[in-house]
Structure 1
Amino acid sequence: MDELQHILQTRFGYKDFREGQREIIEKVLAGEDVVAILPTGMGKSLLFQLPAYLKNGAVLIVSPLLSLMQDQVEQLKMMGEKRVVAINSFLSFEQREKALSGLQNYKFIFTSPEMLQNERFQRRLASLNLAFIVADEAHCISQWGFDFRPDYLRISESLKSLRKANVLALTATATKEVVKDIKTTLLMEQPFEYIHSLDRPYIAYEAHEVESQKEKVEWILNRITSTTGPGILYSQSRKKTEFYTEELQKKGIRVAYYHSKMDQDDRILIQQQFQQGHLDWICATNAFGMGIHKDNIRQIIHDHIPTSVANYMQEVGRAGRDGKQSIASILYMLSDVEQAYFVAMQDFPDEQDIILAYQTNENQVQLSETTERILDYWKMVLSTEETIELFKNIRQKKWIEIQSLYTLLQNENCIREQVIAYFDQKLIDKPLNCCSKCSLNLQELFHLHDKPLIHATVLDWKSRLGSIL
């Protein structure tokens, strides 16, 4: 038994590596930059946790969400690792000062792109011996950096003082364009790339075009109340997540809502309740899901068109991590295309915003916090005209991405083949339960041979629909 296999078994409790894991870990240990694209549930955390114990120094993990950081910190502590810390805005001033003062004592250091810009934190990191650096959920560099978190684009500046360490970029989905953004931002030179097939054969795809919001809601409530979870219902509206939750609770479903306007402590509590099986369903905006370690999610339902195929696949990929049959269902109508575009662009500056923000008297410009943050970055990088052109191109790209997903759902071609092709991959084999356009046996899938899958029910929520739709 070699050293890698020994650590895998003794420290992590696994008998064998999954496909690609050993190869990636060996490249990390050799000091190479690595871009690893593996579907959710393929053990991406092991790719930085295991080599950390074979290299001297600390591992810096740049992570997009507080909940994701906290979950990974707790996982390591449960494995007996005490040398782990998360440096983020969730810490009080005193806690942060204590952590920074003792930073040399930690093996795993988690942080956010925003905290990475802190000058004192940068100085402390520069004084450490870093084994290597990890960019977790690295697709966020491309998908979020240009949208609402420009600090992702500032990572390259932060890395210049730390660039002696090699970088491991991890994500579940990435197109060639996203991989290019990852390489550029993380200052990678000829990195080793491992790209696993993104097909999840145990996830069946189901798409239904409906005529009205009422029809959409009726379908969703009937599906959830007549089938089993666990599951996640995604909606673009915070108000709708609360509505669905209330109506499902009336039907005896163990469910809670989750969105970005909730207190951080409440969100963490609900996430833990779902992971531990105290809740069967979560009604959530896209603020929920990244980093959720729950293997037995059976259903993902969307009541809208997500803003891209990549975002859709990220959310769908949270089902069936245990390799058992699951289903991803999406309910949509034509008006959802414009709604998705509005949601995607609501914090983006228009031409007039950009012109005013570039003028001397900036205090007169009333912009959202997100818009100001976006423009504060680009004002340091581009001219007024260049910034106007940049966001013109971004708007056009967003519209094309949304239209691409709508076209994919609406045409008669296999959904699975199309989503895999979006990431420049080819589908090798189709499972028996593939998609609603190929073959999909819902009775078999839900194991409900003794009763109808969808029962006709007149619900008392119909009179309330007008207030939220």
Structure 2
Amino acid sequence: MVELEQLLQQYFGYTTFRPGQKEVIEAVIQGKDVIALLPTGMGKSLCYQLPGYILNGPVLIISPLLSLMQDQVEQLKRFGEKRVIALNSFLQGTEKRLVLENLSKYRFIFTSPEMLATQATQNAFQMVQFSLIVVDEAHCISQWGFDFRPDYLKISEWIPKQQRPPILALSATATKTVVEDIKTYLNMSNPFEYIHSVERANLHYDVVNTQSVEEKFEWIINHIRQTEGPGIIYSQSRKKTVAYAEALIGNHIRAAAYHAGMGNEDRQFIQQQFLSGELEWICATTAFGMGVHKENVHQVIHDHIPATMANYMQEVGRAGRDGEDALAILVYSPRDEDYTQYVVTEDLPEAFHVTLYEEYVRRGENPKKMLDIQQINETGYRVLSYWMEQLPAEEVIQKLNSLKQQKIQQIMQVATFIKGEHCMREQLVAYFDQELEQKPTNCCHYCGIKYDDIIDERSSDYGYKELSNWAERLCSILP
């Protein structure tokens, strides 16, 4: 039998595995279900890519984002793989039909839970004997499935019951509760678990307190124009991402906005510019970053309180993938919790939506009419229709109320984390049910931190512009 190390070098040019990779791959090729929690930058993709050359049959990878799929496809193509396809909305008409008719000819097939839910995809998949089913970023089952993308909860319904291939669930971060959700909703059978520490000693965490949104905006721009990137600014507002990008460009810093309101091709173009170094900063909503392989990100800045601790850990984890020191800064101002609560809960259906849904059913009409005449938004309808299929109306109302309260509690947990008088690193590791063994120098805001030891000052004097105009504009676009 050929050694795994030989195959690793043959197909990918590497001579050794990173921690956890070999253990996970061995379990997969033995036919076991596997849950693998490996930190960002530890090479999770190899855990299904190498088995794809060992197992007999196509590997199906269920992925949450178009950008993540495209990035993985391009990565495989760079290694010389031609039998790879992303089955997503980029495929149109005849091209999509040809792909569905020839699925068994591909080695790696990427798709999303929503595409998997379509009848055409299900029909085509019934004709394919997959060797492995991968759920990438599997924490999304728990993080998004209940209230944002319920098709995540249905994945197991579409997996073949007869001769079921092994299932590999991959993530960088997951609590014990999330791991249990993954097991339950994927119907995993006594899975092998590999859980690596979430601790990243080269990440250094800080909180900057400001008194207003305007002061926050000015602090962020001033900080960026004095320090080196590459970096990512995360914001909850699409308009704010544009305002940040314009302010940075006005100060001769190569930057661009990135958000879900942009076209797919525009987002792909901007992502590629960032990856290639043509852009130094991305000003983005959380639509950016998952699975993006850029090793030298030196800074991640949040201008808001993330919705969950897991979100925060995922987003700051996009820095320092090269092992070099990187800075994670959260810039806080009063009432940030209120704004995050509004953003996170605004799409959840209300009790009156449940009543409307029932009324349409009682009249023999399609409840989707609620969406057509704008009585509910698309996300709200997806959530509502899923739970109305699962539970009686009274229990749906209770479920929706419970989800809202859970989201509020998660936001308060993040607020406590950033405002608390305890080591941020210890809190993060404890959240994921682990223990911190050693603190690095410049650990965090609470323990003490010096930016000069972590990131370089910007060497060039660009003749910086005043920020008052951008700050005034920011005030005009905020809710």
Question: Residues 209-261 of structure 1, C-alpha deviation per residue, up to 9 Å, x if partnerless?
Answer: 22111111111011110000000001111111111111110100000000111
Contact 1:305 1:332 in 2 (8 A): yes
Aligned pair 1:436/2:445, yes or no?
Answer: yes
Mapping 1:308-327, distance limit 5 Å: 308-327=308-327
Contact 1:209 1:410 in 2 (8 A): no
CA distance in 2, matches of 1:112, 1:451: 44
Mapping 1:20-169, distance limit 5 Å: 20-161=20-161, 164-169=164-169
Mapping 1:361-372, distance limit 5 Å: 361=363, 362=367, 363=369, 366-372=375-381
Aligned pair 1:287/2:282, yes or no?
Answer: no
**C-alpha distance 415-162 of structure 1, shift in aligned 2 (>3 A):** farther
Contact 1:258 1:270 in 2 (8 A): yes
- Report the 3-state secondary structure (helix = DSSP H, G, I; strand = E; otherwise coil) of the residue aligned with 2:113: coil
1:222 partner letter = N
Question: Residues 114-171 of structure 1, C-alpha deviation per residue, up to 9 Å, x if partnerless?
Answer: 1112223223322222111100010111111112211111112111446610100000
Contact 2:208 2:330 in 1 (8 A): yes
- Tell me the C-alpha RMSD between the 2 structures: 1.9
CA distance in 2, matches of 1:350, 1:149: 17
Mapping 1:402-417, distance limit 5 Å: 402-417=411-426
Select between 457-466 and 286-295 the one with higher mean Cα deviation.
457-466
- Report the 3-state secondary structure (helix = DSSP H, G, I; strand = E; otherwise coil) of the residue aligned with 1:436: coil
**What is the aligned partner in structure 2 of residue 418 from structure 1?**
427
Q: Offset of 1:456 from its aligned partner?
A: 12
2:48 partner letter = F
Q: Which runs of 5+ in 1 are unaligned?
A: none
**What is the aligned partner in structure 2 of residue 17 from structure 1?**
17
Which residue of the other structure, out of 377, 386, 389, is the alignment partner of 2:398? 389
- Report the 3-state secondary structure (helix = DSSP H, G, I; strand = E; otherwise coil) of the residue aligned with 1:290: coil
Contact 2:218 2:467 in 1 (8 A): no
1:310 partner letter = A
Question: Residues 160-194 of structure 1, C-alpha deviation per residue, up to 9 Å, x if partnerless?
Answer: 44661010000011111111111111110210111
CA distance in 2, matches of 1:57, 1:466: 55
2:436 partner letter = L
CA distance in 1, matches of 2:407, 2:345: 8
- Report the 3-state secondary structure (helix = DSSP H, G, I; strand = E; otherwise coil) of the residue aligned with 2:137: coil
- Report the 3-state secondary structure (helix = DSSP H, G, I; strand = E; otherwise coil) of the residue aligned with 1:461: helix
Contact 2:113 2:152 in 1 (8 A): yes
1:293 partner letter = H
**What is the aligned partner in structure 2 of residue 232 from structure 1?**
232
Aligned pair 1:190/2:199, yes or no?
Answer: no
2:253 partner letter = I
- Report the 3-state secondary structure (helix = DSSP H, G, I; strand = E; otherwise coil) of the residue aligned with 1:114: helix
Select between 347-356 and 134-143 the one with higher mean Cα deviation.
347-356
Select between 368-377 and 286-295 the one with higher mean Cα deviation.
368-377
**C-alpha distance 417-457 of structure 1, shift in aligned 2 (>3 A):** farther
- Report the 3-state secondary structure (helix = DSSP H, G, I; strand = E; otherwise coil) of the residue aligned with 1:270: helix
Q: Offset of 1:368 from its aligned partner?
A: 0.7
**What is the aligned partner in structure 1 of residue 357 from structure 2?**
357
Mapping 1:233-382, distance limit 5 Å: 233-359=233-359, 360-361=362-363, 362=367, 363=369, 366-382=375-391
Which stretches of structure 1, 4 residues or longer, exceed 6 Å deviation after superposition?
A: 449-452, 455-458
CA distance in 1, matches of 2:3, 2:428: 39
2:34 partner letter = V
Q: Which runs of 5+ in 2 are unaligned?
A: none
Q: Offset of 1:75 from its aligned partner?
A: 1.0
CA distance in 2, matches of 1:162, 1:459: 64
What's the TM-score once normalised by structure 2's chain length? 0.94
- Report the 3-state secondary structure (helix = DSSP H, G, I; strand = E; otherwise coil) of the residue aligned with 1:446: coil
What's the TM-score once normalised by structure 1's chain length? 0.96
Q: Offset of 1:445 from its aligned partner?
A: 1.5
- Report the 3-state secondary structure (helix = DSSP H, G, I; strand = E; otherwise coil) of the residue aligned with 2:200: coil
